Structure 1
Amino acid sequence: MALEDLAGLHWAMEPAAHPSEPVLAYVVSGFDRDSDHLAYDLFVTDLDGAQLLHQPAARAPRWSPDGEQVAFARIDNGRRVPACRSLAGDEWVIPAPSGDLVDLRWAPDGLRLVALTATTRPPPTRRQPYRVTSSDDFAPIVAHDAWILEPDADPAIIGEDLGNATIADWSPDGGRIAVVSDKGVNRDRSLASGLWMWDLTTGNSECLVPPVVPIYAIAWSPDGRSIAYLAAARNNANSAINHLWVYDLESRTGRRLADGLDRSVGKPVRGDDERAIGSPILSWSGDSVTAIYAEGGRSRLARFGLDGSFENVIASDLCVLEFSQGAAGIAYSWSDPLTPGEISWLDTTRGTTRQVTHLGESDLADVQIAPTTEVSVVASDGVRVDGWLTVPDSPSPSPLVLQVHGGPHYAIGERFSFDAQRLAAQGIAVLRANPRGSQGYGQAFADGNLGDWGGRDFEDLMELLDEVTDRESIDANRVAIIGESYGGYMAAWAAGTVDRFEAVVVESGIADFLSSAGGTVGPTFWYSELGGAPWDNPTLYMERSPITRLHRVTAPVLLIHCEKDEMASITQSEAIYAGLRDLGREVEFLRVPEEGHFFNVFGALSRRLERTAVLDTFLAKHLGAEAVHQQPEPKEIDS
């Protein structure tokens, strides 16, 4: 697999099962060279792939209750607005509310929709000093609103007193809407949200679940008596796993389902594309709720019974990433180490599965895919740590790249990795790992690096690396480490902690915890991750910051950072660059203009290709592998 193959990849995503027939809507994403960005096409097909409808520049399909129409988000000059088409091709004009469309939900009568929008702050034009009154003044999103949309009527905002509305769902009788809102929450200090019920007849709202922890998904039961919801186990803690709850509207009480499951519901395994980044999905089926959860490096689709039962719906090791449930079956998107992204159909009556899309057959027709195998080690404290190793077909031992994921509370695993396959084609093996802090292994494992970044998590990586480099297929003398975000922090930390890497790539990384704690991500993240504020534990903030270890760095370092990174300021990489230059170390710095923190998912194709070419050339130079791409060197900044 070569660098240029990125432009030809496609991902099937956002499946929507027809309410009653074996028909589905879904979206295919892929790069459009003319626009230099990802493009999205909506399709409606039967299970044989016969096309019933095609809508360019559209995503997020939602079937009407009678299955005759599909509502969706039309992409219009970068803005997402609501639209609707029938299978006959007729279009229903929906008045567009202000803001960017986030989600659409049909009313049971099929005549109205509730729309969720996000209003983005315009670029600053102020030329005079102005006061900042809260951390929200720095946020790119100004407000999240819920609207009622219907033909021949202006959009009507609901629950203006509910604050930011981020999730909404209709009651089966169409008279009420459940809303997740941050009403009453001090955003400077809390990430919590509450569950509210809005009565469309009276205009009154009622708080069902107070804002104690974040709520990430809701689904009203078909009988109207209950609302299922996902809630974090703790507030202000990214490591907290999600629990599945059901709120009983008669008793006004909630209870947790599958309370013996020590896994995070609604958090699939992450990969190269955007699937698993958005809001989790919940869906009712009789007396059970269907949802995805991560177990190790796999995303499982499971049913959670109201009686406490729990069972996996699909018995395979692939990663289920999204799903939609209809009367005839379940449509789901998935990936595995050989497959970027397809959609399959589960016939829930027969228990059989059928692949609907076959994008990889053409995208990867001329590409050799290297095998990926799961590896593990029992760490020095007795805990198992998993990784995934991709090894090229080579007669001699291969150099190795240790790639550390971001988060830190994500999980990687049985998903296709463009980075791993591209590097394997250049003769470089790739080890991806789930160290302490990763999801998929329980709450204690996810909490395992809290207040200890660069500690137990780093030991996990080194001990797994020891196991892999003992293999005959790996050249232990040619090893590099790369990482993005938290992974970038870990690469920078490793560079100043051990002398075993021939090259280090720090992408969107963290150099200094003290300056990061007051950054745009905010105290709610850093105080949880580091076990308190800087004044509570100044020693840890200093000692675990890679900036304090630059004098120990001996390996060549490549820094990659986006100039509009909204989560890890580019000043973090600037500090590393300045320090290493002052020390006379070998360091390169690639600045990426006009891009943010999720550049490697949503960024412009041309900039992603240049970034990857620079990365590959750097690794080839220092690992002795053959560089298969040549790109002009970026201009250096004189210092």
Structure 2
Amino acid sequence: MTAPAAGRRVVPGDLAALALTGAPDVAPDGTWAVAAVQRIDAAFTRYRGGLWRFGAAQEADRAAPPCPLTDEGPWSDTAPALSPDGGRVAFTSDRDGSSRLWLVPARGGRPALLDGAPEGRPAEYVWLDAERLLVRYARRPDGTSGPAPVVVDWLRYKSDGAPGPVEPLDTLWVLRPGPTGTLTEARPVHDGGTECRLGSLAPDGRGGVFYTAHPRHSDAPHPGGEVRRLDLASGADVPVWRCASEVRALAVTASGRPVALASGVAGHSVEPPRVWWADEGRRAFPAQDLECERALLADARALGAPRLLATAGERIVFAATVEGEVALYEGGPGDAAALRVSPRGRSLADFAVAADGTTAMCLESAVEPVELYLAGRRVSSFNTAWAREAAPVAPEDATATSADGLAVRGLLYRSPHARAGAGRGDVVLRVHGGPHMTYGNAFDIETQCLLAAGFHVLLPGVRGGAGLGTAFRALSVGSWGRGDLDDLTAFADLAVDTGLAAPDRLYLTGGSYGGYLTNWALTRTDRFRAAVSERSVANLVSKYGTSDNGFTTNRHEFGGADLYDADGAALLWERSPLAHAATVTTPLLLIHGESDQRCPIEQSEQFYAALRRRGHEAVLARYPGGSHGFATTGRPDHRLHRLRLILDWLREHAAGPGRTGPSQPAA
């Protein structure tokens, strides 16, 4: 197969050229929607965004062009929530310097701050009716803000992305805003106190709200969660379902039945979230092996937690990762199986559904940045001109056979900018994280930048990845550094055996678990010319106590190996790349956020120190304030710097002494 036709070269700065839709909500009659549209400013100093209105009918067969609902400025408006009568939109904005709750008329007008709102950050909000909002405010406990010392006396005190080890206090309030935003009622209805964190608010339309409760300040390795119902008039608070795992999302059918998203298995990383009837504690669609999560990796989506679960009447609507795409599924109480309702060939980034079943979907593909679709019709084209000019490259399927005979799938992107007349080219293998994440049909700037720099890109789907069923996910257990390395080797062999790559022109990158496999592979082979390891794992022993999930996820992934068991400790150390650092010969760039609590920066620091002590070529890039996901959600300037650093590192080592790099075609 020949390389695709080349557009203009995609560069890291194109992150600021995209306008990304997210957090949609649909009008009650299903004829229009509102969504947040997010951009990075040209100076890469911050994210900016406003609310837009889409699809208001002009004629029976034509929709009005999208129009701004809020004014643009040096702020970010996001998370719109339409009132049940379609008259007003509640949203979060930092336009006055902090995250606050605002209102704007749905047909346009001046945004109004909810004046007199309670202390704290509006973490979640839903409309109870056309006049009242139910809001969960999260506030820092007194005396815990700023750089003050913090004393902890509980086990689960770390959470990646949190501002610190102290968990916020949650309070539910009923607010009745007047026309100008001034509150005519502000009534506290529930306080999680020091006992639990509240979330996933789902009003039942009968004077009550279902919500999730998870323990605060917990010493339990697997504390699980609860679904509860609060009567807003009487204050009666009753348990509905006790779940062994975290409850990820909650929704309510028209008849008042609560539906939940949870794995149902304590602390286990292999078992994916499923849909449950929370009032009965049983799974919906139990015969289907659907992984109900967005496990598809990409770096060009609007910030914010995407919706995973909703209802339309008695129908359940949810997202699932299936064979390289995130799809929207729908099913009802009497259905044996839920059916896919989103189009094939595109992946779901976010969605909303009206009571009549009309959906708004934020969809993307490998060559199309995310756009909004309403009732199956595309209603935004923010990135069309950019995509036409840049002509992003589409992947082709690639399958390799591992050492144990397992067929593993991947994706191959051929660069239209590869060295002309050079024969075999340069191939970068990028390993997904998780290990229960995956690459697939999603738009990714980093991949397109590598292609523009002249590298072919191969995305190996090593065992344990998402979208191929629970049995495939389970193949990672006990196999770190064993079967997964064989899978990676099979893809490297495929690149060479098919003539795509010269044997000495292979490069390896990966993040999180992919960083672990990158580090491990370098202790086992010298076939890679250079490598990049991000937010990685090097010492499974120290990660056990320094990570927010080290004492749970890693224990399950290594078949129950415990640090305090002699055999378990020996296994964890033997599978740690740090234990074998002396064998590494490949130049390595390590990238890490300094506030990463999932794979703490000490992991890269230890590996870096071990390599430099031996005079090995290693570089460590540290990003202040960066969490585990900073590469896709962190400070824009840090994201830009990281992309440029990776490209420079690979180009430098591709060129080498007296050689021509892939981004500099030979004369």
Correspondence 1:443-462 to 2 at 5 A:
443-462=470-489
- Asked if the contact 2:33–2:360 (Cα under 8 Å) also holds between the matched residues in 1, the reply is yes
Q: Report the TM-score, using the length of structure 2 for normalisation.
A: 0.87
Shift of 1:485: 1.5
SS in 1 for 2:305: coil
Residue of structure 2 in register with 1:507 after alignment: 534
Residue of structure 2 in register with 1:147 after alignment: 173
What is the distance in 1 between the residues matched to 2:397 and 2:266? 33
Cα 1:30/1:212, change in 2 over 3 Å: same
Write the deviation string for residues 402-453 of structure 1: whole angstroms up to 9, x where unpaired. 1112222212201111111101111101112322221211112212212332
Residue of structure 2 in register with 1:54 after alignment: 70
What is the distance in 1 between the residues matched to 2:27 and 2:628? 36
Aligned with residue 271 of structure 2, among 220, 227, 240? 240
What is the distance in 1 between the residues matched to 2:227 and 2:412? 43
Q: Which amino acid aligns with 2:283?
A: R
Shift of 1:465: 2.7
Residue of structure 2 in register with 1:22 after alignment: 31
If asked which structure has higher relative contact order (CA below 8 Å, sep 6+), I would say 2
1:386 aligns with 2:430: no
What is the distance in 2 between the residues matched to 1:388 and 1:360? 24
Residue of structure 2 in register with 1:200 after alignment: 232
1:156 aligns with 2:188: yes
- Asked if the contact 1:420–1:429 (Cα under 8 Å) also holds between the matched residues in 2, the reply is no
- Asked if the contact 1:558–1:618 (Cα under 8 Å) also holds between the matched residues in 2, the reply is yes
- Asked if the contact 1:169–1:178 (Cα under 8 Å) also holds between the matched residues in 2, the reply is yes
Residue of structure 1 in register with 2:241 after alignment: 209
Q: Which amino acid aligns with 1:116?
A: R
SS in 2 for 1:464: helix
Correspondence 1:131-530 to 2 at 5 A:
131-138=151-158, 140=164, 142-143=167-168, 145=170, 146-151=172-177, 152-154=184-186, 156-160=188-192, 163-173=196-206, 175-183=207-215, 186-224=218-256, 226-248=257-279, 253-274=280-301, 278=305, 280-307=307-334, 308-326=336-354, 327=356, 329-346=358-375, 353-393=376-416, 394=418, 395=420, 396-522=423-549, 523-530=551-558
Identity of aligned residues (%): 25
Shift of 1:514: 0.9
What is the distance in 2 between the residues matched to 1:302 and 1:256? 15
What is the distance in 1 between the residues matched to 2:411 and 2:337? 31
Cα 1:155/1:287, change in 2 over 3 Å: closer
Cα 1:572/1:291, change in 2 over 3 Å: same
Count, aligned residues: 613
Write the deviation string for residues 569-600 of structure 1: whole angstroms up to 9, x where unpaired. 22211111211111121112222223222211
Q: Which amino acid aligns with 2:271?
A: A
Correspondence 1:46-125 to 2 at 5 A:
46=55, 47-51=63-67, 53-56=69-72, 57-76=76-95, 79-86=98-105, 87-91=107-111, 93-94=113-114, 95-107=116-128, 109-119=129-139, 122-125=145-148
Shift of 1:282: 1.9
Shift of 1:52: 5.9
Cα 1:276/1:440, change in 2 over 3 Å: farther
- Asked if the contact 2:362–2:370 (Cα under 8 Å) also holds between the matched residues in 1, the reply is yes
What is the distance in 1 between the residues matched to 2:108 and 2:540? 57
What is the distance in 2 between the residues matched to 1:294 and 1:133? 38
Of 90-99 and 324-333, more deviation after overlay is shown by 90-99
- Asked if the contact 1:369–1:421 (Cα under 8 Å) also holds between the matched residues in 2, the reply is yes
Of 602-611 and 612-621, more deviation after overlay is shown by 602-611
Aligned with residue 20 of structure 2, among 11, 35, 45? 11
Shift of 1:305: 2.2
- Asked if the contact 1:165–1:179 (Cα under 8 Å) also holds between the matched residues in 2, the reply is yes
What is the distance in 2 between the residues matched to 1:241 and 1:606? 34
- Asked if the contact 1:263–1:295 (Cα under 8 Å) also holds between the matched residues in 2, the reply is yes
Q: Report the TM-score, using the length of structure 1 for normalisation.
A: 0.90
Cα 1:320/1:75, change in 2 over 3 Å: same
* Structure 1 unaligned spans of 5+: 347-352, 630-639
SS in 2 for 1:341: strand
Cα 1:279/1:343, change in 2 over 3 Å: closer
SS in 2 for 1:406: coil
Of 509-518 and 611-620, more deviation after overlay is shown by 611-620
Shift of 1:184: 8.5
Cα 1:526/1:549, change in 2 over 3 Å: same
SS in 2 for 1:420: helix
Shift of 1:391: 1.0
Write the deviation string for residues 523-553 of structure 1: whole angstroms up to 9, x where unpaired. 1233223323212301211111010111111
Q: Which amino acid aligns with 2:267?
A: N
Of 353-362 and 536-545, more deviation after overlay is shown by 353-362
* Structure 2 unaligned spans of 5+: 1-9, 56-62, 178-183
What is the distance in 1 between the residues matched to 2:622 and 2:337? 51
Aligned with residue 571 of structure 2, among 534, 540, 546? 540
What is the distance in 2 between the residues matched to 1:241 and 1:406? 15
Write the deviation string for residues 280-321 of structure 1: whole angstroms up to 9, x where unpaired. 432223432111111121111111221123211134121112
What is the distance in 1 between the residues matched to 2:295 and 2:618? 36
Write the deviation string for residues 455-495 of structure 1: whole angstroms up to 9, x where unpaired. 22222222233223322333332011111111111111111
Cα RMSD for the two superposed structures = 2.4
Cα 1:616/1:483, change in 2 over 3 Å: same
- Asked if the contact 1:406–1:487 (Cα under 8 Å) also holds between the matched residues in 2, the reply is yes
Q: Which amino acid aligns with 2:248?
A: Y
What is the distance in 1 between the residues matched to 2:304 and 2:527? 33
SS in 1 for 2:552: helix
Cα 1:212/1:488, change in 2 over 3 Å: same
What is the distance in 2 between the residues matched to 1:38 and 1:52? 17
- Asked if the contact 1:136–1:142 (Cα under 8 Å) also holds between the matched residues in 2, the reply is no
Cα 1:545/1:155, change in 2 over 3 Å: farther
Of 1-10 and 95-104, more deviation after overlay is shown by 95-104
SS in 2 for 1:569: coil
Shift of 1:143: 2.3
Shift of 1:35: 6.5
SS in 2 for 1:514: helix
